[in-house]
Structures are given as structure tokens and as C-alpha cells.
Structure 1
């Protein structure tokens, strides 16, 4: 007898929640059951078929009499729990054909829409500061997508030269903006209130990701942090005090301090919670952020700028920079920036060290 390797225990007074994250089942154990399980964890050999608690723990698959093969996993337990725990979404009724899928999905959407979706976010910080109207985006129709795809690369050496506000306006609009060009291309399957369309796909069409502009050297825009309002194509002033170097909040990557502009990509988890109850939707948040990041890089590249991106940052410092309150359902997922560069993939400091070793 042994303890199932796919469980974790969450203390939640007055019970202990035993979570089998592989088969998506949870059990509440009172004190008597918790004490017995603790003894079995200490010594599984004391399992007793005549003990009703032991047999119930076995039936619930908290205990197992089948040896489990070693799990091939190179990261920590937390990442393993998340990945395995979001596999194989529980499904009471698996559709056997397209008609059944359509019926089940329609019922799900009808149930979801019985409650209103979370409202669009117009950032409340610096409410005394008027919205900043962005200039009209530049038409990139003559630029080659193939050229942008072939040219795009991650650079780590930026000159600090300023970037035009219209360039930033174009990048924001094509990455996060609600595209006016698609306003008349909405079919009957789109629920009221969810008609807005972006250039990147989004789980459930919810457009859960948002963006905060990091502005250090943008012509016509004071340095600071600005929330991008996708529906209006405007900026709300969030923070005009860039006292901390960008590299300091991005896990010490100080080679990027001269970056003139960037975008913190966030996700409104409350939008995903509204439609998708299962935690697998958490994966979709990062997928959407990845789509937006790639679009940002391609647009910036098409406009003659170099790009850099990272998922390494000190969350609480970034949240403070963005004015997030504790337990905010909007969370920071990624950062991508652009500017003029000498095209070096390796930063000057690292390149110097490598040259000296040679």
C-alpha cells in the first residue's frame, strides 16, 4: 500500500482538503480521517482492511495498492501539479458528433450569459488626468508580413533613441485595439457585449488580456506608465514616477534600461472565470499573451524597430508600478518592448565578458 503520488493536501479549517489533481477529485477529511491519513503517510504498512477509514481512503484513490512508475518531471512539484492538474478537463458528457457538441456548447454559453460579463476596464488611477487620445495608426498595408517574419529577432542592445507616438499608437492598435476594420464582420454567434475583435485570437473571444504602456522616451508623451483602453484607443495615466530602472523590476536585466517603450501584458482573470470554471483556462491566458507578444514584435519590426521580450520580472514590483491593489484579478503575465537598436542579440556587457575569455 502507498500514498497516491498525485494528491496534495490543503489545510482549510476545520477540515483538510485532499486533492487528487490527476483525476480532478477533492475530498474533505475531518480530524479523525486526517489523523489516520497522517499515520498512513508515516507508515503505509499499517493499512488495515478491517478499518473502514482505510478502505474508504483506498476507494477514494487517496491510497493505492498499485505501484506508480516514477514521474519524469524536471521542475518543482508546483509546476507538475499545475500541468497535470489542468490536463483532461472533466466532462460529464463527451459529444459524439458535431450536433451534440453544438447543443452542449450552446447550453454552456446560455448559462454563462445569464450573468453579465465583467465590465471593460477604464483605469481608475490618476482620475484627475484626462484621457490621452492617440494619433491615428499608420497604414502598414504596403509592408510585407514575410519580411517582418524573416527580420524579427530578439535584441538586447538599445540606443535609447526616442520613438514616435504615432508608431506606438499603431503598435497598440494592431496588438490590443478593438479593430474598427472588423466592426461589420461579426456573425450571429457572437454574444452581445463581446463583439469587439482584435488581431490576435482570444479564448472564448473574451479579449481577457490588457496592456500597460511603459513610456521612457516617446515623442509627445511624458515618461510614465499608461493603461491602454482598447475600445477607445486612448491612454489613461497610471504612474508618472519612473524612479526605478526598468531592469530592476525585470529581474535585474539592466542591459534593457535604455529601452524607450514597452508593454506589460496583463490578463483579466475575472473574464476567464466568468466563462470557464476549470483551471485549464489559466493556460489560455498565457497563450493569448503569447499571441499579442508576437503581434507586437511583428508590427514593431515592420516599422523598423527592434524588439525584446521577457517573462522574468519581480511581480510585486511590477504590480506596484502599475498601481495594482492586492488580490487584483488582473495579473501581469509578460513584457515586450521595442526601440532603435544596433541589432546585437547579446548585450554589450555579456559580449565583453565572452570576448575577454577568448
Structure 2
């Protein structure tokens, strides 16, 4: 007898939950079942066909008759649980044709809309606390092919400020609710706002916090962006330490004029998509927005840099998101750069190593 390699155990007093993350099944074990499972983990050969607990653990898939071969996994168990556990969305009855899909999807949306939707905006600053941004403009007539070829990740930025009109254009085309787009008549109530990037279920679950160090016409600080009103509100002053301390020691970025922390409103995703696979969509949407930001910045003549490496705790505190269903996922920034993919200090180090005998 063998222990199923695709289970993990969660202590939830007074019981423990055994979760088969591959099959999306959970079982609650009392002290007797938990004790017996611990004995079988220590000695699988002690399985007893006459023991009702043993046979029920086998029927539940917690035990297996034959050993389960699992593919090699190069990361830790947590990443494997996430990947495997978000595979294969469970269907009670998978749709067999377009008519069944339409009926099931309509029923799902009807059920979702019958429950209260999360707040459209995660913050509600008073009108006098909002900073209206200039009307976005340009880049008009930008050549897409040239923009894609020119986009480059740079790691050496000057202290040249970014203009407020360019910031306005960046935020509007990346995160703004585009008033030029006519809402689709088939959109569900409350889901008519549209951005330039796609969003799972039309939820626009991602938001943005501006980290402004050197923007002309805007005081340095951390600002929440409000896409419906195309405005900012101050969240916190800049921290009294370098940006690199937030971004896992990447101090070559300390001169970056501005950056955008892309967050996700998990509560929006939970509302429409209760299956854990929706967690993947949070990162996918953040990736869409990151690429849009970079292309707009490039078309404006700015260079870009991006990272998923940051200190979650300090960033959550800076954005006032501690213990919140809204969480930071990614960071992307832009400014004037010398175009170098490596910072000068790293280039100097490589040169010194190259001349050593």
C-alpha cells in the first residue's frame, strides 16, 4: 500500500483536512482517522483489509494500491501544489456543444449576479483628496512594429523627470477605463468598463499604485490610481529608504522616476470564479498590463524596467494593503535611460574580471 503523493494535510482543529489537490477532493479526519493515517505514513505495509478506517482511506484515494509515478519537478512542493492544484477545472457536467455551454454560462452569470458584487473601487477618497490628471494625449501615429522593436529592459536610469502629461497617458492607456470604447450591449451590469488590455471575465481585477519619485508637477509619493475618474490620491509618502530595498536589493533602479505596482483584487475574482484556477488569471492579467505599460512608455520615448521580485510585506504596508484581498503582483517602471541592459557597476565588474590574469 502507498500514500497518494498528491495529498497534503491542513490542521483545522478539532480535525485535520486531507486535500487531494490533483483530484480537487477534501476529507475531514477526526483523531482516530488522523492517528491511523499517521501510522500508515510511517509503515504503509501495516495496511489491514479488516480495518474499516484503512479501507475507507483507500476508497477516498488517500491511499493507493500501486505506487504513483510523478514527473520530476524542479521547484519546491509548494509550486507543484499550485500548478497541479489549479489544473483541470472540475465540471459537474462538461458542456458537449455550444448550446449547452451557452446555457451553463448564462446560469453561472445569473448565479454570480444574484450575489453582491465587490465594491467597484477599493478606496473612496473624498473629491478634494483626488488629483485630476491632464487629458491623456498621444502617442498618436506610433508605429507598432517600431515600438515592439524599440522596447527594451534597461537597468540604468537618469534623474530626468517624466512629464505629467506623459504619466497621464501612461496610466490612462494602461489602466484607465477608456471612454472612447463603446460598451458591449451584452456586458453584464457593472462590467461595462473596458481597458486596452484583456481581463478575465471583464472584471478588471487588477489595479495600480504609482510610485512617483520624479514626475514634473506631482509631489513625490505613493498614489492610488482611480481608473474611472482618471485621477490619483495620495496613499503614503515615499519611504525613507531607497527603492531597491523594496525590490530585493536591485539598487540599480534607485533613480527610476516612476514605477507602477500592479495589484490584483482577489475579491473580484473570487466573486465570479470560485475555483483556484482563477489565481492564474490574476498573474496573466498583470502580465497584459505590464506589456501595455511598456509599449506605451516606449512609444512616448521612455525606457522601461520590470520585476516580480519585491519584499511583499513592506510593499503591502506601503500600499496600505496589509491583510487585504488586494495584493501586489508585479512592478514596472519607466524613465529616461542610457539604454544599457546592465548598470554601470555591473559592467565595471565584468571588465575588471576580464582583465585579470
Residue 186 of structure 1 and its aligned partner are, at CA, apart by 1.5
Aligned to 2:87: 87
Q: Report the counterpart of residue 338 of structure 1 in structure 2.
A: 334
Which residue matches 2:237? 240
Cα distance between partner residues in 2 of 1:7 and 1:316: 29
- Give the C-alpha shift of residue 348 in structure 1: 1.4
Matched-pair contact (CA < 8 Å) for 2:86–2:277: yes
Is the CA contact (8 Å cut-off) linking 1:123 and 1:236 kept in structure 2? no
Range moving further from structure 2, 136-145 or 272-281? 136-145
Give 1:10 deviation, angstroms.
Answer: 0.2
Count residues in correspondence: 354
Q: Quick one: distance in 2 between partners of 1:47 and 1:129?
A: 70
Residue number in structure 1 paired with 2:345: 349
* Contact 1:261–1:338 (Cα < 8 Å) also in 2: yes
The whole-number CA distance in structure 2 between the counterparts of 1:77 and 1:42 is 20
User: How does 1:212-227 map onto structure 2 within 5 Å?
Assistant: 212-227=209-224
Does residue 184 of structure 2 align to residue 186 of structure 1? yes
Asked if 1:299 corresponds to 2:293, the answer is no
Matched with 1:110 is 110
Instruction: Write the distance in 2 (CA, Å) between the matches of 1:30 and 1:116.
Output: 35
Shift of 1:323: 1.8
Distance 2:239 2:246 in 1: 11
Q: Which whole-Å deviations, capped at 9, do the CAs of 1:271-299 have from their partners, x for residues lacking one? A: 00000010000000000000000000000
Q: Secondary structure at the match of 1:181?
A: coil
Q: Distance in 2 between matches of 1:124 and 1:226?
A: 13
Q: What is the CA distance between 1:40 and its match in structure 2?
A: 0.2
Q: Deviations over 1:205-230 (max 9, x none)?
A: 00000000010000000000000000
Secondary structure in structure 2 of the residue aligned to 1:265: strand
- In 2, Cα distance between equivalents of 1:185 and 1:211: 22
Please list, as runs of the form range in 1=range in 2, the aligned pairs for 1:147-226 lying within 5 A after superposition: 147-182=146-181, 184-188=182-186, 190-226=187-223
Contact 1:33 1:53 in 2 (8 A): yes
Q: Which runs of 5+ in 1 are unaligned?
A: none
In structure 2, the residue matched to 1:311 is 308
Shift of 1:140: 2.2
Partner Cα distance (1:263, 1:246) in 2: 12
CA contact (8 A) 2:183 2:193 kept: no
The answer to whether the 8 Å contact 2:183/2:192 transfers is no
Distance 1:261 1:78, change over 3 A: same
User: What CA deviation, in whole Å up to 9, does each residue of 1:4-56 have, x standing for no partner?
Assistant: 00000000001110000000000000000000000000000100011110011
Tell me, yes or no, if the aligned pair for 1:7 and 1:20 is still in contact at 8 Å.
yes
Q: Distance in 1 between matches of 2:238 and 2:277?
A: 37
- Of 136-145 and 295-304, more deviation after overlay is shown by 136-145
> Which residue pairs with 1:42 in the alignment?
42
Structure-1 separation of matches of 2:120 and 2:159:
34
Distance (Å, rounded) in 2 between the aligned partners of 1:111 and 1:320 = 35
Q: 1:212–1:263: 8 Å Cα contact kept in structure 2?
A: yes
Summarize the alignment of residues 27-38 of structure 1 with structure 2, pairs less than 5 Å apart.
Answer: 27-38=27-38
Q: Aligned partners of 1:129 and 1:9: how far apart in 2?
A: 51
Normalising to structure 2: TM-score of the pair?
A: 0.97
Q: Aligned match of 2:282 in 282, 285, 298?
A: 285
Which consecutive residues of structure 2, in runs of 5 or more, have no partner in the other structure? none
Shift of 1:304: 0.2
Give the C-alpha shift of residue 241 in structure 1: 3.5
CA contact (8 A) 1:122 1:229 kept: no
Counterpart-to-counterpart distance in 1, 2:19 and 2:70: 20
Asked if 1 retains the 8 angstrom alpha-carbon contact of 2:183 and 2:194, the reply is no
Measured in 1, the distance between the counterparts of 2:49 and 2:2 equals 14
Q: RMSD of the TM alignment (CA)?
A: 1.2
Quote how far apart the aligned CAs of 1:122 are: 5.3
CA distance in 1, matches of 2:149, 2:238: 37
Q: Distance in 1 between matches of 2:200 and 2:183?
A: 18
Counterpart-to-counterpart distance in 1, 2:273 and 2:192? 18
Q: Are the equivalent residues in 2 in contact too, given 1:129–1:237 (CA < 8 A)?
A: no
